[in-house]
Amino acid sequence: MYTWHATFDGQDTLHAAADRYQAVLVPLSGVDLIPRKWLHLTMQGVGFTDEVDADDLAKITEAARRHLATHRPVTFEAGVPIVDPEAILFAVTAADELRGVRDGVRAAIAEIWGSEHVPDSPDWTPHVSIAYSNTDGPAAPYVNALASIPPKPAAVTLRDVQLIRLDRDTRVYKWETVNSVPLGG
């Protein structure tokens, strides 16, 4: 499917934080760790690749450039991961600023397709997953393992967002970047 994500090439502090927490998760079963290369902040779906016209995709990308030209880069922190039923994830600060970026992407899709055809709910909580759950079970072992790491928030500056072609055939999301749109022009 086509979707908009923030990806984290070159975000060494985030990678180091993920590495620290993932190291204590390795001995535990029940989670699939997300490799550095595939860390991301899910932002906004567009549609399945066989259902999105290439011309529309190009128009949505150009509209996103216009809508995001006024958004400044967003600096946020990823702190201690939380255990969610589906994933272990960093909650992030600057959620309102990140929502503004997502709203710009949603406005771009609405400009081309109309607001009634924008996929996904407008409600959104930004986060960065470091592991996906692959079984049911108690959260306590994961919570305890994560608590053993001294907190050290990772500062991340989001300077652009990526339109990607996404798949998850191997228990981890992988993608090919179709286009990247900078914040602030």
pLDDT band, very low/low/confident/very high, at 72 (cuts 50, 70, 90)? very high
The answer to whether residue 71 scores a pLDDT higher than 90 is yes
Q: Please, what's the b/e burial string for 113-151 (b: 16 or more CB within 10 A of its CB; e: otherwise)?
A: beeeebeeeeebebbbbbbbbeeeeeeeebeebbeeeee
Using one digit for the tens of pLDDT, what is the confidence trace for 116-130?
A: 999 999 999 999 999
List pLDDT tens digits, range 19-69.
999 999 999 999 999 999 999 999 999 999 999 999 999 999 999 999 999
Band of the pLDDT at 70, cuts 50, 70, 90?
Answer: very high
Residue 50 backbone dihedrals phi, psi, to 5 degrees: -80, 0
The secondary element (H helix, E strand) that includes residue 51 is: none
Give the span between the Cα atoms of 139 and 118, in whole angstroms. 35
Is the pTM here over 0.85, yes or no? Answer: yes
Residue 172 scores a pLDDT above 90: no
pLDDT score recorded for residue 185: 61
Average pLDDT of the residues in 139-153: 95
